[in-house]
Amino acid sequence: MLDERKAAILRAVVEEYIDTAQPVGSGHVANAPGVDVSSATVRNEMATLEADGYLRQPHTSAGRVPTEKGYRFFVDHLQPPRLAPRSAEEVRDFFAQAHGQVEQMLSETSRLLSNLTNLTGVVVSPAATEALIRSAQVVTLSATAALLVVVLSDGTVEKHTIEVPETAGDERAAAAGLLLTMHLRGVARHAPVAVPSSGDPLTDMVVSRSIHALTGLPSDDPEHVYVGGTARMAQAFDAIETVREVLGILEQQFVVVSLLRDVIDRGLYVAIGTETGMAPLAECALVVAPYDIEGERAGTIGVLGPTRMNYPQALAAVAVVSHRLSDRLTEG
């Protein structure tokens, strides 16, 4: 598509622009490694690149800036990036001492991504759509309140406080838990079934309250979104208006979810500017990758930053973290 020299010039422009955030002139490019022609020749080539839509001039007598198409070519022709040793070590350390609570780990993973790339990190945990009930337990908290704890097959735990008759007591709570586990085990979270009577009216009441709590809050646990490093967004842009728009987007969890979900089965993927499908993100790029649990697509991680982000670094970080995270989550 582009001959070797044009590609080298384009690459030089992108790299320089990512570095300096200033339009790049022919002089700088002529001095760049891999380009051994004069600035005049570079000018001619850049004019062609602009005509073809890879570059753009902010105004007549300025240097060139990459267009989305230019960035796209750049990332498509990147040789597989490797993570810097320091960063690789950081990732290793992180997962070596990762904690037990999954949510906390995902939240910290978003911060890890942010630290590795100096961008905003995003982690979306899967919706608990097809989870099956693994066990249920009822624990009394006070005379009239108890906690229903349900463990699902994906390892998540749901809890609901329920009211119980004052005379119920610990034993009936325990009995109710056993009964629920027995009959609901393997049943889909969203379709609890009737549980036969235990013969004891108080126990039955606890059971029915529990089932009511489960059915009453149908899709109670949608995708969770963890965003880490929003302050880095403010550092990435000079225009405060842009910062406002992007932060606004990041706060609407469902928007973030839909942003990342479309992409889940593309593997490691980069969306640049309008490719994200969101107007306010026109000046942003998104690098995402899915992560797996037990070999199944579970959720998505990614980083969001300005279109002039460090793509090699971002790609390497997202790839490595998604890989490690998958390992960590499947082995337990």
Partner DNA sequence: CGTTAGCACTCGGTACAATCGACTGCTACC
Partner DNA sequence: GGTAGCAGTCGATTGTACCGAGTGCTAACG
Nearer to its own copies, 230 or 258 (CB): 230
**Interaction of residue 209 with its own copies, rule CB under 8 A:** no
Residue 46 site contact among its own copies, DNA, none (CB < 5 to 8 Å, cut-off depends on kind): DNA
Compute the distance between CA of residue 273 and CA of residue 38 in angstroms, rounded to an integer.
32
Check residue 188 for interaction with its own copies (CB under 8 A): no
Beta carbons within 10 angstroms of residue 56's beta carbon: 16
Residues forming the site for DNA (CB under 7 A): 5, 22-28, 37-41, 43-44, 46-47, 50, 57-64
Distance CA 145, CA 169 (A): 10
Among 144, 197, 215, 274, binds its own copies (CB under 8 A): 144
- CB 54, CB 66: distance < 8 Å: yes
Spatial contact of 229 and 119, defined as CB atoms under 8 Å apart: yes
The 10 Å Cβ neighbour count of residue 152 is 18
Nearer residue to DNA within complex by CB, 52 or 200: 52
Q: Is 235 a residue that touches its own copies (CB under 8 A)?
A: yes
Binding flag, residue 163, its own copies (CB under 8 A): yes
Beta-carbon contacts of 288 under 8 Å, excluding residues fewer than 6 positions away, are: 122, 260, 263, 268, 269, 270, 271, 300, 301, 302, 318
User: Considering beta carbons, is residue 45 or 158 the nearer one to DNA?
Assistant: 45
Span interacting with its own copies, options 21-29, 193-201, 235-243, 307-315, rule CB under 8 A: 235-243
Whether 202 contacts 176, CB under 8 Å: no
| 223 contacts 156 by C-beta, under 8 angstroms | no
DSSP string of 38-81? -HHHHHHHHHHHHHTTSEE-SSTTS-BEE-HHHHHHHHHTPPPP
- Whole-angstrom distance, CA of residue 312 vs CA of residue 165: 61
151 touching its own copies, by CB under 8 A: yes
Contact flag: residue 244 with its own copies (CB under 8 A):
yes
Taking CB under 8 A as the rule, does residue 20 contact its own copies?
no
Residue with tokens 């009211």: 163
Q: How far is CA 207 from CA 9, 75, 193, 202, 212, in A?
A: 70, 56, 11, 9, 8
Given its own copies, DNA, none, residue 238, with its beta carbon under 5 to 8 Å by kind, binds its own copies
**Least separation in angstroms between CB 275 and DNA:** 26
Question: Choosing among DNA, its own copies, none, which partner's interface includes residue 130 (Cβ < 5 to 8 Å by kind)?
Answer: none
Interface with its own copies (CB under 8 A), residue from 166, 171, 217, 274 = 217
**Of residues 48 and 135, the one with the C-beta less far from its own copies:** 135
Residue 25, contacted partner among its own copies, DNA, none, CB below 5-8 A by kind: DNA
H or E element at residue 151: strand 145-152
Site string for its own copies, 68-107 (x = CB under 8 A): -------------------------------xxxx-x---
Mark the segment that binds its own copies (CB under 8 A) among 139-147, 188-196, 257-265, 312-320: 139-147
